[in-house]
């Protein structure tokens, strides 16, 4: 028997009670029952995102909300800065270009994070920049961006601060209002303990002002229309009733744990993963490591592409390798969402077994012991 364990940075495992909730019969959405549910879900999202801004729920994967941010906020002729330090930063640039906008790329070394000074230099040089696109957790490299520091810069300019928090929010601290984030984009299948299919976007008053001056270029992803419907806790088109119902349960779990405790759990899991990697004699890839995913450089001399394959085929553990130029070079240990200490210990144990089998110089148990030590010290 091979018991399957999903330990990837999206999709992530879904709590049994959330799955059970989604097995219930579908009901109609133009009802008071749905409005009550959607009101509670919207309030729950605002709590997790730490915002009083409007929070719109879209029926799409995370990229749909990224596109919604771009097509609603950037009009013809608008220029934008996109921080490109991995695959998801690249995506911001590609969406802006698809929308016909000029992109000023801030290219940073993969695994590193942009500094507020780099952003400020670009905004000073060109005060016409309409938006700055950044990524809270660049899932492809495991790097985290200091959104708070960048927010303190962008708030002084006309530009909007747009954050891809798809994999980071719910794992890393995110204080949308306090950090002056104008548009925050989140997906359901990462740290929010849900299957794929829903995406969220919060919109600040500064962003609404820009959106109202921008001709809408999307029929479906029309944020002013979604805002109007939200006044009655409704949506312009048929919502994913089943997913919204599951989301209520997962958000209730986050609320019951308390968002600060959720952030702390992720920080300790990340600390344990990093300690394990070091104890195994390996190195992390990210210079600015995120508490949502740990990227591990694979030892030289082994077939890197075989690592995720063997983890899945021999141990039932799905971990992701690297993407694009990191393919075969890294493995990514996710610690986001419905995960606890034993998920980390499992991932490390499986990695030890596979790396040793592939010929790497690994002492079995070295990583696991280091991880346990961190959990023990943190009383977890």
Ligand X SMILES: *Cc1c(COP(=O)(O)O)cnc(C)c1O
Residues forming the site for ligand X (CB under 6 A): 10, 61-63, 88, 135, 137, 139, 164, 166-167, 187, 196
Nearer to ligand X, 37 or 171 (CB): 171
Question: Measured from the CB atom, is 60 or 370 closer to ligand X?
Answer: 60
- Per the rule left: phi > 0, alpha: psi between -120 and 50, beta: everything else, 359 is left
Encoding tokens for residue 287? 């210079």
Residue (90 or 372) nearer to ligand X, CB: 90
Rounded Cα–Cα distance for residues 253 and 17 (Å):
10
As measured in angstroms, the least distance from the Cβ of 197 to ligand X is: 9
Closest CA to 101 of 129, 127, 124: 129
Q: How far is the CB of 34 from ligand X (least distance, A)?
A: 24
Q: Whole-angstrom Cα distance, residue 59 to residue 61?
A: 7
Q: How many CB atoms lie within 10 A of CB 19?
A: 13
Could you tell me the smallest distance in angstroms from the CB atom of residue 91 to ligand X?
Answer: 6
Residue nearer to ligand X on the CB measure, 164 or 182: 164
Smallest distance, ligand X to C-beta of residue 72, A: 17
User: Of 332, 310, 334, 312, which Cα lies nearest the Cα of 322?
Assistant: 332
Least Å distance, CB 10 to ligand X, is: 4
Beta strands in 269-339 (DSSP E): 283-284, 293-297, 317-318, 320-321, 330-334
CA 380/CA 377 separation, integer angstroms: 8
Q: How far is the CB of 350 from ligand X (least distance, A)?
A: 22
The C-alpha atoms of residue 136 and residue 147 are separated, in whole angstroms, by: 7
CB nearer to ligand X: give 18 or 139. Answer: 139
Say if residues 169 and 191 touch (Cβ distance below 8 Å).
Answer: yes
Q: Which is nearer to ligand X, 269 or 292 (CB)?
A: 292
């Amino acid at each position: 028997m091979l018991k399957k364990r999903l330990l990837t940075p999206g999709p992530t495992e879904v709590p049994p009670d959330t799955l059970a909730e989604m097995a219930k019969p579908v009901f109609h959405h133009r009802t008071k029952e749905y409005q009550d549910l959607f009101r509670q879900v919207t309030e729950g999202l605002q709590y997790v995102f730490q915002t009083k801004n409007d929070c719109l729920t879209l029926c799409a994967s995370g990229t749909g909300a990224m596109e919604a941010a771009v097509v609603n906020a950037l009009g013809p002729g608008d220029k934008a800065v996109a921080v490109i330090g991995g695959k998801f930063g690249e995506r911001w640039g590609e969406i802006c270009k698809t929308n016909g906008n000029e992109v000023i790329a801030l290219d940073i070394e993969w695994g590193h994070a942009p500094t507020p000074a780099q952003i400020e230099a670009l905004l000073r040089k060109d005060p016409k920049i309409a938006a700055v696109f950044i990524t809270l957790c660049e899932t492809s490299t495991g790097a985290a961006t200091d959104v708070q520091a960048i927010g303190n810069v962008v708030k002084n300019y006309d530009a909007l601060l747009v954050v891809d928090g798809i994999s980071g929010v719910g794992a890393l601290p995110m204080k949308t209002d306090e950090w002056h984030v104008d548009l925050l984009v989140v997906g359901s299948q990462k740290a929010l303990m849900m299957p794929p299919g829903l995406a969220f976007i919060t919109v600040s008053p500064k962003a609404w002002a820009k959106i109202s001056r921008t001709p809408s270029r999307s029929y479906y992803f029309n944020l002013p229309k979604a805002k109007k419907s939200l006044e009655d806790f409704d949506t312009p088109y048929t919502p994913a009733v089943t997913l919204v119902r599951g989301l209520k349960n997962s958000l209730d779990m986050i609320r019951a744990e308390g968002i600060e405790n959720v952030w702390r759990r992720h920080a300790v899991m990340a600390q344990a993963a990093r300690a394990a990697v070091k104890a195994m004699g390996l190195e992390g890839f990210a210079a600015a490591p995120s508490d949502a995913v740990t990227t591990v450089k694979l030892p030289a001399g082994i077939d890197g592409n075989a690592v995720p394959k063997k983890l899945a085929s021999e141990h039932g553990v799905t971990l992701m390798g690297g993407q694009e130029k990191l393919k075969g070079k890294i493995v990514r240990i996710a610690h986001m969402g419905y995960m606890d200490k034993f998920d980390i210990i499992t991932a490390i144990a499986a990695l030890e077994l596979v790396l040793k089998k592939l010929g790497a110089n690994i002492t079995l148990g070295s990583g696991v012991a280091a991880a346990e030590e961190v959990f023990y010290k943190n009383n977890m």
